[in-house]
Amino acid sequence: MALHLTPRDSGAITVVDASGRITLGDGSAMLRKTIRQLVEEAHCKIVLNLADVDYIDSSGIGELVSAYTAVRSKGGELKLLHLTKKVHDLLQITKLFTVFEVFSDEASAVRSFK
Amino acid sequence: MAPDTKHLEVTLETQVESVNLAEEMCLRLAEAVGFGEDECYRIGMSVREGVINAFHYGNKEKPEKKIHLAVDLTPEKMVIHVADEGTGFKLSDVPDPLAEENLLSTSGRGIFLMRAFMDEFEVVPARTGGAEIVMSKRLPNLGSPQSNGSHGSAPHREA
């Protein structure tokens, strides 16, 4: 299933709704392009909503990390919202829960930005 | 090969599409021999990571090279082989993706995931001159040994 990403504004925060798979090829490339574009447009407070993403491979994990560092290099933050169980487990075994801030409700995620 | 082992072998092109093809093929086999949804996911992910490794690191994405995928179904386990036509590598040379200094690396988690998701995992020299990943999962009707998928149960920051 191809990855679809839909950015929307929530005040000063950009929420990106993702659905599909973040895997080697189009999925990873789509995420990279979307995040880079948001950063270029100075949208550097980003919540990535992964509620409809139930599959990420190592390439997708790498792209999430790349997005995180790209946003932070511009003084922004990238936070994750609504992880499915598989994605949750994947981030846990790769220790990326110690890197990403993860939220289970959108209002809290949006409020958490400084 | 033991007479009660079923063997399937395919040669894949060095292209991104081969990753999905290999995953799909092995998923169907895993379902057919009775693995449940969670184990199918782990097997599919491991095959995917093995072929990504061959595609990217082994064959350096060179289209003239091939990826050799084989599956042996023995009475005890499903054994998956993924061989590339690269120059081979040693597991001891692969950086630990859980090390603090590697957590923000954008690559290098494939081997870790295969080790975490499969019961047995090793890398041997391939007949093709490259590396051959050999990984297996015990068949479901025989019971499963304790999962080795519990690496790094780090506390997470959930608000």
> What CATH number should be reported for the domain holding residue A52?
3.30.750.24
B105 touches chain A (CB under 8 A): yes
Classify burial at B83, counting beta carbons within 10 Å of its beta carbon; exposed 0-12, middle 13-18, buried 19 or more: buried
Among the partner residues A69, A95, A108, nearest to B159 by beta-carbon distance: A108
Segments in chain B forming alpha helices (H): 16-32, 37-53, 110-117
**Six-digit token string for B69:** 């995928």
Is residue B146 pLDDT above 50, yes or no? no
Does A102 contact B49 at a Cβ distance shorter than 8 Å?
no
- Residue B133, chain A, CB below 8 Å: the answer is no
Residues in chain A: 114
Domain count, chain A: 1
Position A77 scores a pLDDT of 97
Q: B152: pLDDT confidence band, cut at 50, 70 and 90?
A: very low
What phi and psi, each to the nearest 5 degrees, are found at residue B113?
Answer: -65, -40
Cα–Cα distance between B68 and B6 in angstroms, integer?
Answer: 17
Question: In terms of residues, how long is chain B?
Answer: 159
Q: How confident is the model over A71-99, as pLDDT tens digits?
A: 999 999 999 999 999 999 999 999 999 99
* Average pLDDT over every residue of B127-144: 88
- pLDDT band of residue B145 (cuts 50, 70, 90) is low
Select from A24, A54, A57, A58 the residue whose CB has the most chain B CBs within 10 Å, as the one to mutate to test that interface: A58
- Higher model confidence: residue B149 or residue B33? B33
CA-nearest residue to B97 within chain A is A94
- Residue B158, pLDDT above cutoff 60: no
Residue B3 reports pLDDT greater than 80? no
Q: Among B125, B118, B100, B150, which residue's Cα sits nearest to residue B48?
A: B118
Q: By residue range, what is the domain housing residue A40? A: 4-111
B115 CB near a chain A CB, below 8 Å? no
- Rounded to whole angstroms, the Cα distance separating A113 from A78 reads 10
**What's this model's pTM, rounded to 2 decimal places?**
0.90
**Buried-state track A31-58, b at ≥16 Cβ within 10 A, e below 16:** beebbeebbeeebbbbbbbbeebbbbbb
User: Quick one: pLDDT at residue A1?
Assistant: 72
In a mutational test of the B interface, the residue from A31, A35, A55, A59 whose CB has the highest number of chain B CBs within 10 Å is: A59
pLDDT for the residue B2: 73
Say what the pLDDT of residue B142 is.
66
pLDDT tens per residue, range A30-63:
999 999 999 999 999 999 999 999 999 999 999 9
pLDDT digits (tens, 9 = 90+) for B38-84: 999 999 999 999 999 999 999 999 999 999 999 999 999 999 999 99
Is B102 within 8 Å of chain A by CB?
no
> Mind listing the domains of chain B with CATH numbers?
6-142 (3.30.565.10)
For the question of an ipTM over 0.90, the answer is yes
- Computed over every residue of chain B, the mean pLDDT equals 90
